[in-house]
Amino acid sequence: MRDISMHVLDIAMNSIKANATVIKIMIIESDETIRLIIKDNGCGMDKETLNSVVDPFFTTRKTRNVGLGIPLLYQNVKRTSGKFNITSSLKLGTAIEAIFNRKHIDCIPLGDINETIISLILLEPLIDFIYTRKNSFKKYVLNTKKIKRVLNGVKINEKEVIDWLKADLLNFSMAF
């Protein structure tokens, strides 16, 4: 994976497969670290799955016997001497936290996080995404549940709405 935003897309795909209806994505930046949190209300994992989840030879998918999404993220975090944590409860959901040391020479860039958020909304317009990005000065929140309420029946994946969301994301990310 070349950047953190691609990991976000990949990890959020797990939440989608786990039938989550709400997916929270947080990017918290400081001078030293980029902290990523992805939390869902999907099916969760049992203890056995959870314990093996950073092992690249573990997956519950039938088509391929190697699941790489989580191990690759783990590897990229550990390369920066960062921290990685997963908590999960069956029927309740899963939370993944990854802290990259951004000053480490092996730290991958953030990449196009706006593009990732838009892709997820287009892919799963019925799921609610709560995306937060913040640093010590600023905080931005995009909550599709609130946006849908305002849209009053207009679909969130309609071109005009997506263009507006793109502009809003871009406008704010200029400040970062």
Ligand X SMILES: Nc1ncnc2c1ncn2[C@@H]1O[C@H](COP(=O)(O)OP(=O)(O)OP(=O)(O)O)[C@@H](O)[C@H]1O
Question: How buried is residue 101: exposed, middle or buried, by Cβ count under 10 Å (0-12/13-18/19+)?
Answer: middle
Question: How buried is residue 10: exposed, middle or buried, by Cβ count under 10 Å (0-12/13-18/19+)?
Answer: middle
Q: Give the Cα separation of 106 and 102 in Å (integer).
A: 8
Q: Which is nearer to Mg ion, 14 or 114 (CB)?
A: 14
Does residue 14 touch Mg ion according to CB under 5 A?
Answer: yes
Q: Which stretch binds Mg ion (CB under 5 A): 29-37, 64-72, 90-98, 140-148?
A: 64-72
**Shortest separation between residue 94's beta carbon and ligand X, angstroms:** 4
Question: How buried is residue 160: exposed, middle or buried, by Cβ count under 10 Å (0-12/13-18/19+)?
Answer: exposed
# residues near ligand X by CB under 6 A:
20
Residue 159 CB contacts under 8 Å (≥ 6 apart), including other chains: none
Residue choice 15, 41, 116, 144 for contact with ligand X (CB under 6 A): 15
Block residue for tokens 């969130």:
156
83-89 β-sheet, strand order: 83-89, 93-101, 33-40, 22-29, 128-134, 139-143
**Residue 94's binding partner, choosing from ligand X, Mg ion, none, with beta-carbon cut-off 5 to 8 A by kind?**
ligand X
Binding mask 31-70 for ligand X (x = CB under 6 A): ---------x-xxxx---x---x-----xxx-----xxxx
**Shortest separation between residue 67's beta carbon and ligand X, angstroms:** 2
**Residue 26's binding partner, choosing from ligand X, Mg ion, none, with beta-carbon cut-off 5 to 8 A by kind?**
none
Q: Which is nearer to Mg ion, 72 or 161 (CB)?
A: 72
**Residue 42's binding partner, choosing from ligand X, Mg ion, none, with beta-carbon cut-off 5 to 8 A by kind?**
ligand X
Q: Which is nearer to ligand X, 1 or 162 (CB)?
A: 1
Tell me the longest C-alpha to C-alpha distance in the chain: 48
In this structure, the strands spanning 139-143 and 33-40 are unpaired
Tell me which residues touch ligand X (CB under 6 A): 10, 14-15, 18, 40, 42-45, 49, 53, 59-61, 67-71, 94
